[in-house]
Structures are given as structure tokens and as C-alpha cells.
Amino acid sequence: MNTDKIRKVFPAYFSNFKLPEAAVEQEISVYRACPTRKIEKASFLNTYEENGFHVPVGLTADNPQVYCLSTAFRLKDVKRFVTINSAYQPPLLLAKGHTTKVDGLSCKTSDWKPTKNSHVDWWLYTDAMPWLAFEETTYELENEQNNIPKTD
């Protein structure tokens, strides 16, 4: 499929909620912890799809975050998923990339609700292919490249 031809249409279940006004087509550099440990479609599902098309316990159907792909713009906010001492064993694969205009609308969560982390919400269009904008990396390599002092 040619990414230039993606229809800018959201899945039908997007009628359950209202997108934040801050959500726009933009590029934000982000990290993604890939649950399948591969850069592929199954690692880039929104929370609703990851949960078998059900609203996760503790959330409501009108919460926009139920339907977004979760990413983070700061490395420290994905650390718990991707380091050797992670609760996930083996640790999840760390991918580095960016939100894309062609794949959907995105914004920093802090642009529409109070939060202290670097979470980025990304609402994907139907047939979007966000994984194409990502590459595999490691926490250690990103620490080195960003001159982040080791804390472990």
C-alpha cells in the first residue's frame, strides 16, 4: 500500500470520544516499547485494539487515551519496559522514531491534561503504518548518544 494514498479516516469506534483540541498532524520524536519485541504492526496497536477491542479496566469508553498509540518523547519514560531489570522478561524492544502526519493526529498528553511524564498520544487513521517511521535501538545506546549519566 502506498502511504500517500492512506485515507485520513479514523476507525468507527472513534465515535466513542472527542479528540483533544491539541491533536494535530505533526511529527514528534518519540520512543515506543514494542510488546512483540519486533517493529511490526502488532507492536503499534492502540490500547483499545491491544485489549481485544475492549475498554481496559479502570478506564471509560469516552477517554481519548483508550484509543491512542502510546509513545514517549523522553527515554526515561520507557525505561521500565526495556531495560534488563524490567518486569518484562525478556525486556521489550525499544524503537525510536516519530509520529507522522500521514498516519494520524498526535500531541503531548501534557498539552491537553495535567501529567508529569512525556507521554505522547497518537490517534491512528485506518490502515496507518506507524512502524515504518521507527527503528530498533537500545536504552544503553540512547543513553550514550544523549550523554545521560547512568543511574543503575
Query: What is the DSSP pairing of strand 104-108 with strand 134-137?
Result: unpaired
Q: Which amino acid is at 124?
A: L
pLDDT tens string 119-146: 999 999 999 999 999 999 998 899 888 7
DSSP 24-74: BS---EEEEEETTSSSSGGGS--HHHHTTSSPPTT--TT-GGGGSEEEESS
How much is the pTM?
Answer: 0.88
pLDDT tens string 97-111: 999 999 999 999 999
DSSP state of 56: P
The residue assigned the cell 498520544 is 121
pLDDT per residue of the chain (152 residues) written in tens, 0 to 9 = 344 444 589 999 999 999 999 999 999 999 999 999 999 999 999 999 999 999 999 999 999 999 999 999 999 999 888 877 777 788 889 999 999 999 999 999 999 999 999 999 999 999 999 999 999 999 889 988 876 555 54
| C-alpha cell belonging to residue 141 | 545506546
| C-alpha cell belonging to residue 152 | 543503575
